[in-house]
C-alpha cells in the first residue's frame, strides 16, 4: 500500500499519462506527422488501434482502413502498424512504418488490386486489369518510391496504347538499385511475347524499355497496332518505350 501523499500523486500522474498515451486521438497525430502525399478522412480510434473511412496515397484510394500498433518497434524511433484496407475490389494487408521526417515503409505486403487505381499516378488513361502484389519491402520518401523488393502479377491487362482489348498476363519483379527502383517485366500468358525493364528514378521520372512481338493468337488489330512502334528486328521484335513522371 502506498503510504505517502507524494506516492499517491505520482501514481495518479502516471495513470493519467498512460491513459492519455493509450487514448490519444489518431486524428490529432495524423495532422502532426502525416507523410507527404497521404490524405486520410473519417479517422476513428487511437494511435494504438483505430480505423479510417478512406485513405489516399498518391492518388490510390483505399476504404475501411484499420490499423494496430506494433509497440516493440517504438524503440527504433519508428511507429509501425499492421494495416488492412479495401480498394474498389480486392484487399490490401501489410505492415506500415512511419519514421521521423515522414518517411513511409511497407513490409510483408499482400494485395489484390484493380489496375485502374494506378492509372492516375502513372498517367496512363484507360489502364485496366487485375494485379496481385507480394512485397518484402517498399520505402517511400516525399511520395516517391525509393526502394522496392517484390513482385507484381497482372492478369487481363488492358494497355490502351497497345490495344483496348485485354492482352493477357504479365509479371514484374522489383528490386532496389542505387539510382532508384527497377523491375524486370515479362509475359506469363499474354498474347504478346514481351521482355523489358521498368525504372523509377530519383528525379520522379519513370521509363519502360522492352522488346515485343505478337504471338499467333494475338488479334489482328493488335498486330497492326504494333507496326506503329517502328521496324521489327531480325526476330520480328519491336521496341516498346513508355515514359512519364510520377
Question: pLDDT by residue (tens digit) across 51-88?
Answer: 888 777 766 778 888 878 776 555 455 677 888 888 87
Kindly state the average pLDDT of the residues 177-195.
Answer: 89
Query: What is the Cα–Cα distance from 207 to 244, expressed in whole angstroms?
Result: 7
In the chain, what are the domain boundaries?
5-245
Task: Provide the grid cell at 84.
Answer: 488492412
Helix ranges (H only) for the chain are: 5-22, 26-33, 116-122, 220-226
Measured in residues, the chain has a length of 246
Kindly state the average pLDDT of the residues 38-53.
Answer: 76
Confidence of residue 13 (pLDDT cuts 50, 70, 90): very low
Query: What is the Cα–Cα distance from 4 to 8, expressed in whole angstroms?
Result: 6
**Among the ranges 10-19, 69-78, 85-94, which has the highest mean pLDDT value?**
85-94
The lowest-confidence range among 7-16, 46-55, 73-82, 131-140 is 7-16
Torsion of CA 115, 63, 139, 33, to 10 degrees: 150
At 137-184, the pLDDT tens digits run 998 887 788 899 999 999 999 888 777 788 899 999 999 987 789 999
The residue with greater pLDDT, 151 or 203, is 151
pLDDT at 226 over 60: yes
Radius of gyration over every alpha carbon of the chain, rounded to an integer in angstroms: 23
Q: Are 43 and 50 spatial neighbours (Cβ–Cβ below 8 Å)?
A: yes
Q: Are 191 and 219 spatial neighbours (Cβ–Cβ below 8 Å)?
A: yes
Kindly state the average pLDDT of the residues 28-47.
Answer: 61
Give CB contacts under 8 A, 24+ apart, made by 181-190.
181/145, 181/146, 181/147, 181/148, 183/148, 183/152, 185/210, 188/153, 190/157, 190/215
Instruction: Tell me what pLDDT residue 35 has.
Output: 53
> SS3 for 205?
strand
Task: Mark 107-119 as b/e (b = at least 16 C-beta within 10 Å).
Answer: bebebebbbbbbb
Task: Tell me what the pLDDT averaged over the chain comes to.
Answer: 78
Amino acid at each position: 500500500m502506498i503510504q505517502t501523499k507524494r506516492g499517491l500523486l505520482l501514481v495518479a500522474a502516471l495513470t493519467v499519462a498512460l491513459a492519455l498515451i493509450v487514448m490519444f486521438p489518431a486524428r490529432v497525430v495524423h495532422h502532426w506527422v502525416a507523410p507527404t502525399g497521404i490524405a486520410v478522412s473519417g479517422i476513428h480510434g487511437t494511435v494504438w488501434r483505430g480505423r479510417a473511412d478512406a485513405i489516399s496515397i498518391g492518388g490510390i484510394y483505399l476504404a475501411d482502413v484499420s490499423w494496430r500498433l506494433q509497440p516493440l518497434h517504438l524503440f527504433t524511433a519508428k511507429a509501425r502498424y499492421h494495416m488492412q484496407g479495401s480498394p474498389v475490389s480486392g484487399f490490401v494487408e501489410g505492415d506500415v512504418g512511419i519514421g521521423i521526417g515522414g518517411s513511409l515503409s511497407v513490409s510483408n505486403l499482400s494485395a489484390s488490386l484493380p489496375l485502374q487505381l494506378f492509372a492516375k499516378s502513372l498517367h496512363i488513361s484507360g489502364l485496366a486489369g487485375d494485379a496481385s502484389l507480394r512485397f518484402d519491402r517498399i520505402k517511400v520518401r516525399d511520395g516517391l518510391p525509393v526502394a522496392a523488393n517484390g513482385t507484381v502479377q497482372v492478369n487481363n491487362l488492358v494497355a490502351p496504347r497497345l490495344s483496348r482489348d485485354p492482352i493477357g498476363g504479365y509479371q514484374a519483379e522489383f528490386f532496389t538499385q542505387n539510382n532508384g527502383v527497377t523491375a524486370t517485366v515479362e509475359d506469363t500468358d499474354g498474347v504478346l511475347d514481351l521482355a523489358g525493364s521498368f525504372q523509377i528514378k530519383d528525379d520522379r521520372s519513370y521509363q519502360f524499355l522492352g522488346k515485343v512481338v505478337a504471338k499467333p493468337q494475338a488479334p489482328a488489330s493488335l498486330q497492326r497496332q504494333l507496326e506503329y512502334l517502328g521496324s521489327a528486328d531480325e526476330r520480328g521484335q519491336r521496341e516498346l518505350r513508355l515514359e512519364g513522371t510520377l
